[in-house]
């Protein structure tokens, strides 16, 4: 009996030690995998505004290590697979990679993009009619989307029109026009309509529409166009420019500044990105887009692009350069303006207005000026893309 008790005791102790070793092994594996995930995220997807990389390791009910979550870019998933393979730990892969072949286009003159699904959520940005959007997730009333500048957000399904890859290919190859009028224009039910009840839609600078008929037919000064959702509208032909002509532009600082000045007095709107109302970085984006150039969405992102110019060298700035302001101690960027000349700039702060970076100027503002960047000559460097070279447009 004594020997049997001894055997049972030894067996229990052995099992306990094995269980503790197994538990410790699981903890070590979980820690190693978690560390690998964090390193990949830091290297490939550090900015949640530009990429979804929501991946976590966990132990399931059977004690199995699982890596689960969502990733927006296939290249990031491949990098993760390589990093986890190097760890040498068995795991179950439960990571969802979002598709890159589901599309939509904005069907309103201006659509609001939110940080989370829901009209009460913070407005992160806006997108104008015709803007191609990559659909990451289609969840009924709110779609998880990515815009051409890489920005990730949520849009109400009523604001967009779903498109197949074939429809997008036809759109890119088709006859299109872009609104180049600085003022808001109307799309009418027919070529002669002028009544307030004859409006089909409004259009703002940068909206893209298709030619409705095989031949370009202008009637009574209006061109019949097709909107992204298939509606037809007659638009003043002088407000439209063939998209190839718009995209072929060279850098033109005066054009950028002209559009900015045409919006003087326009109210500031957090997340706004159209000539109706806009925030500071929205002003820069809208004005540069009129010149066929796609900038990053936020001021803190724009500040990391182009050729940097030190604050003390502001006299070396040229028309069209971007000026950045913020916290002098931390260097955190909170505001952006478009430089004109002699220290003067135009920006959106309360409203679109003019001020100066020159301390001797009566319109000088005391917000710390951190640095400037030059976009001209730096197209096709990270964060600065000519629309004619963007595969979503052409």
Element (DSSP H or E) covering residue 163: strand 160-163
Q: In the annotation, is 213 catalytic? A: no
Q: In the annotation, is 335 catalytic? A: yes
DSSP at 196? G
**H-assigned helices in the chain:** 2-44, 74-87, 165-173, 243-247, 253-262, 280-289, 299-302
Residue 285 CA to residue 118 CA, distance in Å, equals 25
Given 207, 224, 280, 317, which residue is catalytic? 280
Given 76, 144, 335, 371, which residue is catalytic? 335
- Residue 194, sorted as left (phi over 0), alpha (psi -120 to 50) or beta, turns out to be alpha
DSSP at 117? S
Residue 357 CA to residue 378 CA, distance in Å, equals 23
Residue 218 CA to residue 191 CA, distance in Å, equals 9
Q: Is 311 helix (H, G, I), strand (E, B) or coil?
A: helix
- Of 166, 173, 226, 234, which Cα lies nearest the Cα of 198? 234
- Quickly count: other Cβ atoms within 10 Å of residue 285's Cβ: 26
Burial label, 252 (beta-carbon count in 10 A; 0-12, 13-18, 19+): middle
- Quickly count: other Cβ atoms within 10 Å of residue 100's Cβ: 14
Catalytic sites, residue numbers:
280, 335, 347
């Amino acid at each position: 009996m004594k020997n049997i008790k001894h055997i049972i005791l030894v067996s229990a102790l052995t099992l306990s030690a094995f269980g503790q070793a197994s538990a410790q092994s699981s903890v070590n594996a979980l820690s190693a995998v978690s560390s690998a995930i964090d390193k990949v995220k830091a290297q490939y997807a550090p900015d949640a505004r530009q990429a979804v990389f929501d991946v976590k390791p966990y132990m399931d009910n059977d004690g199995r290590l699982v890596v689960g979550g969502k990733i927006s870019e296939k290249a990031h998933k491949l990098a993760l697979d390589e990093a986890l393979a190097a760890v040498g730990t068995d795991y179950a892969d439960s990571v969802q990679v979002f598709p890159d072949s589901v599309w939509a286009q904005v069907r309103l003159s201006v659509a609001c993009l939110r940080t989370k699904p829901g009209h009460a959520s913070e407005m992160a940005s806006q997108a104008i009619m015709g803007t191609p959007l990559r659909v990451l997730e289609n969840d009924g009333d709110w779609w998880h989307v990515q815009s051409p500048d890489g920005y990730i957000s949520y849009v109400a399904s009523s604001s967009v029109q779903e498109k197949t890859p074939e429809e997008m290919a036809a759109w890119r190859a088709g006859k299109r026009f872009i609104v180049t009028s600085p003022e808001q224009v109307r799309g009418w039910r027919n070529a002669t309509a002028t009544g307030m009840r004859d409006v089909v839609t409004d259009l703002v600078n940068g909206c893209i529409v298709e030619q409705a008929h095989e031949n370009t037919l202008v009637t009574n000064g209006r061109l019949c166009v097709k909107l992204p959702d298939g509606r037809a509208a007659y638009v003043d032909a002088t407000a439209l420019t063939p998209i190839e002509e718009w995209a072929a532009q060279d850098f033109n600082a005066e054009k950028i500044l002209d559009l900015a000045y045409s919006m003087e007095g326009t109210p500031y709107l957090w997340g706004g990105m159209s000539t109706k109302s806009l925030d500071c970085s929205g002003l820069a984006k809208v004005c540069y887009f009129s010149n066929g150039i796609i900038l990053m969405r936020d001021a803190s992102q724009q500040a990391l692009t182009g050729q940097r110019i030190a604050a003390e060298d502001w006299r070396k700035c040229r028309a069209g350069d971007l000026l950045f302001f913020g916290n002098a101690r931390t260097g955190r960027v909170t505001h952006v303006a478009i430089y004109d000349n002699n220290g003067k700039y135009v920006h959106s702060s309360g409203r679109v207005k003019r001020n100066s970076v020159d301390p001797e100027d009566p319109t000088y503002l005391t917000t710390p000026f951190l640095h400037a960047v030059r976009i001209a000559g730096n197209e096709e460097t990270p964060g600065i893309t000519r629309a004619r070279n963007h595969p979503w447009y052409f």
